[in-house]
A and B are shown apart, each in its own frame.
Chain A
Amino acid sequence: MSDEKLLVTASPHLKGPDSTRQIMWNVVLSLLPVVAAALWYFGPSALLVILAATAGALLPERLLGNKGSLGDGSAVITGLLLGLTLPPGLPIWMAFIGGAFGIAIGKLIFGGLGQNPFNPALLGRAFLQAAFPVTLTTWPVTGGNWWNLRGDNLAWPFMSEAAERAALAAQGITLPDVATGATPLGLMKFEKTGSGFSDLMLGSTSGSLGETCALVILLCGAYLAYRGFLNWRIPASIFLTVAVFSGILHLTNAARYPDPLFMLFSGGLMLGAVYMATDMVTSPTTSLGSWLFGGGIGVLVVAIRMWGGLPEGVMYAILLMNGVVPFIERATQPRVFGRSRVKVLS
């Protein structure tokens, strides 16, 4: 009696406009201007490092991930983001390993997309920082001939620089020396010198590929937030806490603590707040939870920068807060319609 042609499915029979693939590829799209800015400041080195990190991320996703999971775009995001956190002069084999570690150990081991507790790109970077601490903190200065590589990008894996130079010299090749300098945060922490605000804003300072041009990152983030692909509460709460917390410190001792604007626009804060902390998988789903999560990151960033051993603390701040997301969510479940708020808290 029933018509063979007719489908029976559960309601709703209409579907909203967003899809996971679309969200992921839009994030990739929005990262392209940031990549372009990195290219503008650091030349071909930027492209090499970012491509190597992305290739490193894609390889394990292809080999070990679920069938067709490359198409969801999330591995590309991890690769691009990791590349943007690395110094321009990094040997690309290190970038590749970082990407592979981030995806394999940071994501696939937990079950792939949606299952990982920590941001895979930052986990990859934390791994590199632990494995190659010196290379990861060597920052070439901006400027100079655009075409020059900003470091030993093409270094051979696991070879000391001296040995490599000797091997190359045997073939009649000499490596150029690259001018390096400290990042604004490093300058502030270890040499007590500040940097100009416009330099920070436009990115003409030393630093990781993606931690230089704050303006581009903000614009790209605004696009994602407008499309509803980015939880604006997280960057908003990070910026707010960093500004307020460092503002209070600055007021108590202006000589020791830098002003809030410097704190906001230096280092990896922009990239971290807009792109890393907002990773949907590793941030809270509740709206109050998002505010707490961002606030926690803001406090940790200022604390690590001011009182920690490292000049920069965005990476560890986000990873630490990633770890407490389940607790934040448990404590911030939404108030059910018709029930009083007090009962939720008790």
Chain B
Amino acid sequence: MPTIPLNFRHGVHPPELKELTAGRQLRRLPYPDELVLPLRQHTGKPARPIVRVGDRVMRGDKVAEADGWVSVPLHASASGIISAIGLWPHPDGSLAPAIRIAVERYSLHETRARVIPDWRGLSKEQLVAAVREAGVVGLGGAAFPTHVKLVPPEGEHVDYLLVNGCECEPYLTTDDRTMVEYPERVQLGIRIMMKCLGARHCLVGIEKNKPEAIRAIQRTLPDDLDVLVMPLRVRYPQGAEKMLIKALIDREVPPGKLPVHVGAVVQNVGSVATIAEAFETGLPLLERIVTVTGDGVRRPGNLLVPVGTKLRDLLDACGGLTPGARKIVLGGPMMGAAVSDLNVPVCKGTTGVVVLDDRHSRSVEILPCIRCGHCLDACPVFLNPQLLGALARAGRHEQMEEHDLATCMLCGCCSYVCPSNIPLSQMFQVSKAALTKIKAARS
């Protein structure tokens, strides 16, 4: 047990704002009339549809096949008829291919009979295949296919499984509810993953503003495995992989390297619970916990939402928007994307829907940089956002690359602290895209 305080350096401490939904039990959203399943809901290659318009699908049926190793299949989260396969508004703001399902009314939404294998009898390879078949991705927001992380590259050894229950984004209480309401599931998921990875230790990192979750996980700790709960100081972006690894085991992942390089694999607590669920019920990832919150929504809460539910249906179930609602953010307010179209569906990586009102969406005046250096003191990966910002403004993208733009994870700490309201992380996002283009043109 380390006795030094667990920490990463820099970062910020925005208002936590979790009190709106922190104590609220999960409630199940009724099935909407239509579901929209974008083929690209995960990092990597989009899934390939295996159904045709007019097909009838039952809840849990596979509707799209994984395409390549870094890809996962997609399943129908309710029974119904495939009504269309075509472009539909995607959470990222684009139009992207999606499968639409006209959901059966008055249906029991039964699933097909299936054999549930006992995970204890399965080999590592079989476990990984089962996780992949269940369509599990990182539920913390990035939606990286979970099975990929369960297979360490040749020659790398995993000492630690790190379970990410930080939920450092303000407002969100998704992981909090997972740990409070399904602690046994989390423990089972940890067991399965430790077996897959051959990891001997597991640390569950939870920020101290979630005492109920800390108690729940503490209470259900297994006797036969080395699993520890690590309460962490509240600090954004602790939930970022590199920051969590630094805080929990004091190792720094070098730029461009994977966590496994320092002997660690990080999994979001929601993904861990989903894996356990897949082995308990035999069902793939069909629904996820979504926090619907913010001053712009009438009845905030934590909901169990079928993947593919449109924001309109989700918000209606929460009492609708208040007259003052101005901005809808998918994910947390620090890194989430604002959307203007309520037809956008909830995807596997949608952690929350935060509706901000006037107070949080006023336009601000951008003043010149006064070189106060607050961004340098906030950047968790020790970049120089002040310098990068000046370079971005001058359009010198290549020079930004020399100053390690690639290490920037767009956490937004620099923009958050900038007293002159310079949209630094937005500028970096643009520069990253420009660099990708420049490189593509060169090759």
Binding site for B on A (CB under 8 A): 1-3, 5-16, 18-23, 72, 74, 112-115, 228, 231, 280-281, 283-287, 290, 329, 333-339
Contacts and interface: CB of A to CB of B under 8 A. Distances in A.
Contact of A338 (B252, B338, B354, B403): B252
A19 B362 CA distance: 14
B167 to A, nearest CB: 15
B404 A15 contact: no
B343 A13 contact: no
> Chain B CB within 10 Å — which of A5, A8, A13, A15 has the most?
A13
Given A72-B367, A334-B382, A5 B326 contact: yes
Nearest to A23: B419
B183 to A, nearest CB: 30
B421 to A, nearest CB: 7
A10 B429 contact: yes
A15 B416 contact: yes
Contacts of B354: 13
B381 interface: yes
A11 B367 contact: no
Given A12-B415, A13-B360, A280-B371, A287 B254 contact: no
A330 B293 CA distance: 45
Which residue of B12, B367, B423, B426 has the most chain A CB atoms within 10 A of its CB atom? B367
Contacts of A20: 367, 370, 372, 419-420
5 contacts: A12-B412, A13-B327, A15-B364, A18-B417, A336-B255
Contacts of B418: 16
B376 A334 contact: yes
Interface string B413-443: 0011111110101100100000000000000
Interface of B: 12, 14-15, 89, 93, 170, 242, 246, 252-255, 257, 325-329, 333-343, 354, 356, 360-361, 364, 367-374, 376-377, 379-384, 386-387, 403-404, 407, 410, 412, 415-421, 423, 425-426, 429
A198 to B, nearest CB: 36
Nearest to B412: A12
Interface of B is mostly: loop
Given A8-B340, A11-B333, A72-B367, 11 more contacts: A7-B326, A11-B334, A14-B360, A18-B417, A113-B370, A283-B371, A285-B372, A287-B376, A287-B377, A338-B253, A338-B254
A11 B425 contact: yes
A237 to B, nearest CB: 15
A115 B371 CA distance: 9
Is chain A's interface secondary structure helix, strand, loop, or mixed overall? loop
A16 B417 contact: yes
Given A11-B412, A14-B170, A338-B257, A280 B373 contact: yes
A8 B442 CA distance: 33
B234 to A, nearest CB: 15
Nearest to B410: A11
A9 B326 CA distance: 11
Task: Select the residue from A5, A285, A290, A329 with max chain B CB neighbours within 10 A.
Answer: A285
A339 B340 contact: no
B361 A13 contact: yes
B371 A281 contact: yes
B326 A13 contact: no
Q: Report the 8 A-B pairs with minimum CB-CB distance, sorted nearest first.
A: A12-B412, A10-B426, A285-B373, A337-B381, A114-B368, A338-B254, A13-B333, A338-B252
Contact of B382 (A231, A290, A337): A337
A31 to B, nearest CB: 17
Contacts of B170: 14
A6 B329 CA distance: 10
Contacts of B329: 11, 13
Given A13-B334, A13-B356, A23-B419, A8 B339 contact: yes
Contacts of A286: 373, 376, 384
Contacts of B423: 10
B404 A336 contact: yes
A7 B360 CA distance: 11
A231 B373 CA distance: 9
Contact of A285 (B341, B364, B386, B426): B386
Contacts of A15: 364, 416, 421
Given A13-B361, A114-B368, A1 B373 contact: no
A6 B327 contact: yes
Nearest to A68: B365
Contacts of B254: 338-339
A3 B384 CA distance: 38
Contacts of B93: 8
Contacts of B404: 336
A72 B384 CA distance: 25
A10 B425 contact: yes
A43 B269 CA distance: 68
A207 B382 CA distance: 43
B334 A14 contact: yes
Nearest to B379: A334
Contacts of B364: 15
A9 B338 contact: yes
A8 B255 CA distance: 31
Nearest to A337: B381
A20 B372 CA distance: 9
